[in-house]
Structures are given as C-alpha cells and as structure tokens.
Amino acid sequence: MRWVTSLKWLAITVVAIVLAFAAFITWFDWNYARPWINREVTAATGRPFEIRGDLSLHWLAPEAQAPGLGRWLPRPRLIANDIVLGNVAWSQTPNMISLGRLTFSLEWLPLLDKRVVLPEVTLSAPKVLIEQRADGQNNWTFTKGNGEPSPWKLRIGRLILEDGVVRANLVPQQLDLTANIATIDGQAPYGIGVALRGTFRKVAITGKGRGGDVLSLEDSGEPYPLDASVRIGRTLIAAKGTFTNPATLSALDMHLHLAGPTMADLYPITGVLLPETPSYETNGHLLHTAGVWRYERFQGKVGQSDLSGTLVFRQREPRNILQGAVVSNQLRLVDLGPVVGGQNPSGGGDLTGKPKPPPSDKVLPVDPFKTDRWRAIDADVQFTGRKIIKDKSLPIDNLVTHIVLDDGVLSLKPLEFGVAGGRITSNLVLNGQAEPMKVDSQVSLRHLKMKQLLPEVDLMKTSVGEVNGDAALTATGNSIAALAGSSNGEIKALIDRGSMSKLLLEYLGLNVGNIVLTKLFGDKQIEMRCAAADFAVKDGLMDARTFVIDTDDTSIGVTGQIDLKREHFDLTIRPEPKHFGLLSLRSPLYVRGTFKHPDVGVSVPTLVARAGGAIALGVLAPYTALVPLLELGPGKDSPCGELLANLQHPPSRNPANVKSPPGANGGKAGAKGAPRGGKAGQGGTTTAPAFGPAREAP
C-alpha cells in the first residue's frame, strides 16, 4: 500500500532529522553559543549575564518518571564554568550571583510555555548577594529593560550546593548576615547544613544549623524542617521543628530554648518589651500562625526564680500586644529588683550593670525609668508568685498582679501579696505618655504581724503587734527620687502593740530612730502599746498631722515635716511621762539635717512644766482619719482603740498617774494656750521616712 510506504519514509526522515540534530548539538562547540546565551539571559532578566568559562553539553537518558513526552525524550545536560549575573544599578556590588561551575539538566517541552524546568542543578562555589534598600527596593525582583516583570518562570527539581556563600543585606530589617551553605547527605529530613555570621540591629550573630532541602521551601504548604542554634549578642536561641512559607513563617511549630544574661536583650531582637532581669533560661513550645505567636507551656528560670506559663504575641495595629499568664512557685525579690528599679545583678540592660549613683549628699535612687520603650507594645499579663523570697527570711507569699500596658500607660491592678500573716494590696498606674512620668498609687496594709515581719530577730518572737496602714499618693518624675520629691497624698498607719530597741533599729537600718530612741530611753527594749501616724504629703513635703508613740511609761508626740525633695528632716519629738520622775524633766528633741547626714539634738528646755502633755499631744486633732484603720485592724478594744478614743477629749491639766511637782501652778498656764488634742499618755506610729531612710538590710 502506497500510504504505508509514505508513512514509513516520513518516520525515517523524522528520526534522521532528530539524530542529525542530536549529533549536531553533541559535537557542536557550545562556546560559540555563549554570546547568544549571554544576550538572551540578559534580556530575560534585565541584568548583565556572562558565561566566562568553558560551556559544554552532554545527553542524559530519558527518565521513566518524567510526565508526558518527557519520558521519551533525552535531556541535555549543560556544564558552564565561571558565571556571573549582574546586580541592580543602585547596588555597590557589581554581581548578584557568581558561580565557579553550573551543572544542570533541562526539559524541552516546558520551554514552549516560557517555563524553564531544571530537574537537577549543581552549584559549585556559588556566591549570592541578597539586598534591600531602606525604601524597600530589592535586587531579587527581576525586570526586563523596559521595567516590566519577566514572563519567564523558573522551576528547579533538586538543588545541590557545594561550598556556597549567601549574604543577605536587608537595610529595613537592619540585617547583614552571611551563611555558608552546603548540601548534606544521610541526615534526613535535613538536606543542607548552614553556618551563620553577621549582625542584626547592630548586634553580632553567630550560629549553625540544619534545614530541609532548599527547594522544598518553594512549596508553601509543605512543613520545612529546621534544627538551629544561634547566638544574637548575648542571647542564645535554639529551635527545632517545622514551618511553612518562609516569607510569613506560617504554621510554625517548634521547640524553643532561650537563654541570656537579661530578658531586656530580647527587645532589639523581637521588638517585644521585656524588663531587665538576671540571667534566664526557658524551654517551651513556639507556635505561629496568622500573625499570632504563642509560647506555650514554657518553663524556665530567671536568676534563681522559676517561671512557667503561656505567652501570646499578637501582631496588630496600632501596636502589637503581649498577653498571657505566668506563674512562679518560688520567686526571689532580688530577681525582680531590676524590674522595680533596682540593680541588675547580671549586669544586663545597658551592658554595664552599674546603676547611676545618687548625688553625694542624697540617698534616694536616681536611676531613670525607661519609659521610652513603653509605647512600642501593649501588654495584658496575669502573674502569680506562690512563694516570694527576700534574702532568706522575708515571709511573702501568694503574689498576684494584673499587668496592663496600654499606649505607654502601665498599670498593676491589683498588685497584692501576703506578708507576715497579713496582706498588702495596691493599685499602681504609671503613665509613661507624660514627660515626666505620672504615677498614681493606692496601698493598703492589713493585719501584718510584727513577729512574722522579722522572724530572725529574737526580741520580736514574743511580740503580738499588728500593723495596718493606708497610703494614697500621686507623683511625677522619672526616678524614685523625683517621684518622692513631687508626691502628693496621705499616709496613715497604726501599730497595735509592738517592741522597739536600739538593736532592732540598727537591724532595720533606721539610723535616725536609733539615735532618738537612745536619747529617750537609753539602750533598753521598749514595749509599745500603740503607734499612730497620719501624714499629709504635698509636693514631696510630709507633714505630721498625727504622729505619736504610746508606751506603758511614756507618750511621745512628733511634730514637723519631712522634705522628700530635699531629703531633709525638720521634726520635733516631745516625750510626755505617765509617771513623775526624772524623765519628766527631759526637754524635746529635734531632728534636723539630711537623710544621709541627720542631726539629732536636745531643744532648749521650756518653762512650761505640765503643759507639755498638751503641747506634745495637741498634734492629734485629725484623729478621725485613723478610725477606719482601727475598725479594719485591731478593733476598738485594743490599745490603739483606747488611744483614739481618748483623742476625742481635750488634754488634762494633770494627766492620769502624774503628780504635779511642788511649786507647779497646776498646769493652768500651759493649758491656756494648748491646742485641743489627745490625752497625755497616748501614742502614735512611726514610719520608715520619719526615722530616716532605710538602708538595705544586711
């Protein structure tokens, strides 16, 4: 049949043409094609391209797994040496890519659809530079000469790297990172090994790790395995797990280990505002999807304190937010010191660990609060501390606080904890929006047992005293000294039964109180029936509206002021004996000088003999301000209840149990000008500021 013969000859002709073409491209010197290839690639990418070395081609047998006609067609394998691809015009580095050798195989048919499909590519000694300018322009977006995106698409089946170097210089992210990359075998699911060095936000980076095959990153839905350990500055980050879509790190699921000298170092790395802390270490489960990062069920230590819980970081406008709940079974206050303005024992934060010392004549801390970072992020975190340790003895437990940071305003509502068998509850608001910072605080002390406050002091073990108090203060300033010097409000306190001695005051570091007590009573222990204090505070000036200490033998009235801004005392202390004796002849004491250098002395004796009781206790007129503390504290039947009840009556000319000395006029002269106040024999409290600044307990 003639058509069969024609078909046979047609087939022979086609095969002959194919064989001739194959023979031609096999024996053709492809170096003659380099100029044409250079021109075409340059036109396709919009970048200068050049093959500087030898170019050769070999044939590979068809692959049975290839789709369609590809399983019948042989594939060419091209080897090119010394290749460079130019960079964008604005870059200071002329080449984006350089290769010692490129070996790849090519599929024919996809070329018809402007797709370059390379089943296998081997890069020997590749050097790649990835750049992005501050305005967002980058060098990995290829365009043709007319500025339009290239219509050609590239797909690589398997990529083999030999001694690769990739540098990423991303100005918006402040990242300049160099990675040495090589393909590794026999460590599935990992396909490449990486060593890192560089800087991130001006902090040094070093690290190493393993990742899946580079090309698997192209599949945004396929989990990519990663096992890496990186040190950024002083922070160690180790992660092992998977993620998808490297551009967004969606579906990230990793075990994360963090360690460093202070959590504050994480701020330039993550943008999450964390306080300065002692050295820390945490392990937990890190998840990320749709702009939400979760650090779940983490456990770790800060200093010698343990922490556990879950934190959630949400990306949102206008500010990101950190939410969660953290629990500590044992929390040392020294580990929280830097959070509340103390020194960081690790030397973190400003990389020196040295707090700014106060002026030579001052004692209040002048270290500034770092409110400039408070508006970088919002926060809503619940914190629970089941056992709190200060040194070895301070009995604090069950600390609970709700920390909210909203547009630079930090609030702790409430901040409460158990101490010495009682409870301290406070509400604090620190407005970092204002300059200087504004603070609003309310604090209450309820049923604090004195013997539990100082369990290591033997003379306190038999004390049945109880402390109750309230304070409401506002202030402005960027340091503790500035806040104290601008404070306004009230401070009230009651101590129902208790003990004082020179030894105790030395233990507490109350140097002024130590001097006063020694001048009044010598070196013996004094049993208090009650102490009551009511201070009005305005512009850092504490005015003693009510301040008395009542013992079995003596009532002590205190008048005057404490200037927190100048750190200066101006107090007069008047002892009033309940029994006639030598003590009744004592003159008032004065307390002058500064917190650092107090001056305690004896005032010039007055001629008023028995009016002293009225003078000393006449400062007690606003006694009603302390009644709520009495009702919530020791009760009306306590010694403090008796004291406040007696304050409702004018002072007696002849106090109970006191006999007028011979020649006295019965006290009329003194009573005439005496203001209304408490009955002789009453007392009030003393607070740390009244006795002088507290030094750190040894």
Q: Could you tell me if 327 and 297 are in contact, meaning their C-beta atoms sit under 8 angstroms apart?
A: no
Q: Which residue has the tokens 């058509």?
A: 3
| CB-count burial class (<10 Å; 0-12, 13-18, 19+) for 152 | middle
Q: How far is residue 400's CA from residue 685's CA, in Å, rounded to a whole number?
A: 29
Q: How much is the pLDDT for 644? A: 60
pLDDT at 509: 47
Q: How far apart are CA 208 and CA 542, in angstroms?
A: 60
Using alpha carbons only, how large is the chain's radius of gyration in Å? 40
Per the confidence metrics, is the pTM higher than 0.75? Answer: no
Distance CA 209, CA 190 (A): 10
Domain residue ranges of the chain, discontinuous segments joined by +: 22-142+151-173, 445-469+490-526+541-656+669-691
pLDDT digits (tens, 9 = 90+) for 456-496: 666 566 666 788 889 999 999 999 999 999 999 999 888 88
- Could you tell me whether strands 49-51 and 127-132 are parallel, antiparallel, or unpaired per DSSP bridges? unpaired
**Spatial distance between the Cα atoms of 35 and 463, rounded to a whole number of angstroms:** 99
CA angle 345, 346, 350 (to 5 degrees): 100
Round to whole Å and give the CA distance between 409 and 434: 9
- Rounded to the nearest 10°, the torsion over CA 627, 631, 636, 642 is -30
Give the start-end residues of each E strand in 304-456.
305-314, 320-328, 331-332, 377-390, 394-406, 409-419, 422-431, 438-449
Q: Are strands 377-390 and 320-328 parallel, antiparallel or unpaired?
A: parallel
DSSP H helices, 156-255, are none
Q: Is 96 helix (H, G, I), strand (E, B) or coil?
A: strand
Whether the bond into 35 is cis, omega within 30 of 0? no
What is the pLDDT at residue 553? 73
Q: Distance between CA 97 and CA 128 in Å, rounded?
A: 5
Tokens coding 505: 């005051």
Please answer whether residues 679 and 536 qualify as being in contact, where contact means their C-beta atoms are separated by less than 8 angstroms.
no
Per-residue buried b or exposed e for 466-502, using 16+ beta carbons within 10 Å of the residue's own CB: bbbbbbbbbbbbbbbbbbbbbbebbbbbbbbbbbbbb
Residues in the chain: 698
Secondary structure (3-state) at 136: coil
List Cβ neighbours of 21 (8 Å cut-off, separation of 6 or more): none
E strand or H helix that includes residue 536: strand 526-538
Backbone angles phi, psi at 37, to 5 degrees: -60, -45
Q: Which residue, chain included where needed, has tokens 């407005």?
A: 431
Please give the angle made by the CA atoms of 146, 148 and 150, to the nearest 5 degrees: 110
State the DSSP code for 95: E
In order of 599, 670, 685, the CA distances from 522 in angstroms are: 18, 28, 20
The pLDDT score that the predictor gives to residue 227 is: 97
Helix runs in 263-399, H state only: 267-270, 333-336
Residue 391 CA, chain-centre distance (Å), reads 23
CA dist., res. 635 & res. 629, Å (int)? 9
CA–CA separation, 196 vs 174, rounded Å?
16
Residue 393: CB atoms within 10 Å: 13
CA of residue 249 relative to chain centroid, distance = 25
- Euclidean distance between the first and the last CA atom of the chain, given in angstroms as a whole number: 116
Distance CA 385, CA 214 (A): 46
For β-strands 526-538 and 541-551, DSSP reports them as antiparallel
Strands 75-86 and 55-60: antiparallel
Q: What are the start-end ranges of the H helices in 509-582?
A: 511-521
The pLDDT value given to residue 522: 57
Res 11: pLDDT: 66
Q: Which amino acid is at 131?
A: E
Q: Note the pLDDT tens digit of each residue in 561-600.
A: 999 999 999 988 887 776 654 444 456 778 888 888 888 7
Residues lower than pLDDT 70 in the chain: 1-28, 64-72, 143-150, 219-220, 247, 336-356, 390-395, 454-464, 499-526, 578-587, 603-698
Q: How far apart are CA 95 and CA 625, in angstroms?
A: 80
Q: Which residues have CB under 8 Å from 585's CB, separation 6+?
A: none
pLDDT of residue 253: 94
Q: What is the pLDDT of residue 53?
A: 94
Q: What does the alpha-carbon distance between residue 646 and residue 671 come to, in Å, rounded to a whole number? A: 17
Give the bridge partners for 230, in sequence order. Answer: 207, 237
Q: Residue holding tokens 């009033």?
A: 576
Cα separation, 234 vs 80, whole angstroms: 44
Q: Which two tokens stand for residue 477?
A: 């300033």
- CA angle at residue 691 from 685 to 694, to 5 degrees? 115
Give the pLDDT of residue 302.
92
For 388, what's the count of Cα atoms within 13 Å in the CB-facing half-sphere? 20
DSSP 13: H
- Cα 381 to chain centroid, rounded: 12
Torsion-angle region of residue 67: left (phi > 0), alpha (psi -120 to 50) or beta?
Answer: beta
- What tokens were used for 639? 């010694």
DSSP structure string for 342-361: ---TT--TTTT--PPPPPTT
Quote the pLDDT of residue 334: 77
Report yes or no: 274 and 264 within 8 Å, Cβ to Cβ: yes
pLDDT of residue 497: 78
Residue bearing tokens 């300049």: 176
